[in-house]
Chains A and B, each alone.
Chain A
């Protein structure tokens, strides 16, 4: 989606290294999400944030951290504690509070371990 920018498109991590994936949006959406997708699998929720300075753990938060200092930005850090980080990472946004809430996705970041 043109309103959500994920960078970089490809990222390589060395053993013991923390890496940060960027997600920026200009849709003025309150809620932002991070999903992880392994090959041939569905999407699993890592973290989500409904408002600035607040976020909640999803289903697989261990080894990841996030911050939400600005409405437009929701960076995801993959820490060295995440032992199997190789995956496709997707950022999404939605209008908070709408009953027919739908997600808008970025184009993703492919993270690989060297």
Chain B
């Protein structure tokens, strides 16, 4: 699976959009981009995933560049409860895949 690079931390104001970047320059054509988040002392929670097209669900939007070498997770209206570690993962998916979680990016939402 391709490796991902995320900055260690970022913050944003409550009510503003949080844009979390991720680089995955070695991604291959059949690898998905996944985002998970982990609130302190809990198990990670799936947020969203995509292959080529931009995706949106009730939690967030995922923007993947045309060359697929980077992506951005957007939380449109961040709240204090969105303070967490966010993991960007690239994987082929399916029965033989193993999602590998790096250190992620710590998002701090300030009042």
CA distance A110 to B49 in the complex (A): 29
8 A Cβ contacts from A53-107 to B: 58, 88, 90, 92, 96-107
Q: Say which residue of A48, A101, A105, A108 sits within 8 Å of B45 (CB atoms).
A: A105
Given A98-B94, A100-B49, CB of A105 within 8 Å of CB of B100: no
Contact check, B49 vs A42: say whether CB atoms are below 8 A apart.
no
Complex contact B43–A92 (CB within 8 A): yes
Is A27 in contact with chain B by the CB < 8 A criterion?
A: no
Known: A107-B42, A108-B41. A42 touches B94 (CB 8 A): no
B95 CB contact (under 8 Å) in A1, A43, A50: A50
Interface size class of A (residues with CB under 8 A): 20 to 34
Which of B17-25, B61-69, B75-83, B101-109 makes up part of the contact surface? B101-109
Could you say which of A43, A98, A106 contacts B101, with CB atoms under 8 Å apart?
Answer: A43
A29 vs chain B, min Cβ distance (A): 12
* Interface secondary structure of B, over-half rule: loop
A108 to B43, CA, bound (A): 6
Q: Is the CB of B98 within 8 A of A45?
A: yes
Set of chain B residues within 8 Å of A33, measured between Cβ atoms: 98
Residues of B within 8 A of A (CB-CB), count? 23
The complex places the Cα of A100 from the Cα of B101 at a distance, in Å, of 17
- Whether the pair B49, A105 counts as a contact (CB closer than 8 A) is no
- A100 pairs with B32, CB closer than 8 A: yes
Q: Which residue of A lies closest to B102 (CB)?
A: A42
> Pick the contact of A104 from B46, B91, B94 — CB < 8 Å?
B46
Q: Closest Cβ of chain B: how far from A3's Cβ, in Å?
A: 12
| With A90-B44, A107-B42, A108-B43: A102-B98 Cβ-Cβ less than 8 Å | no
State in angstroms the CA–CA spacing of A102 and B55 once bound together.
Answer: 15
Nearest A residue to B96 via CB reads A50
Q: In the complex the two chains form, is A99's CB within 8 Å of B101's CB?
A: no
Contact B98–A105 (Cβ < 8 Å): no
| Known A43-B100, A45-B100; 10 more pairs at CB < 8 Å | A1-B45, A33-B98, A41-B103, A42-B104, A43-B44, A90-B44, A97-B94, A101-B93, A101-B94, A102-B49
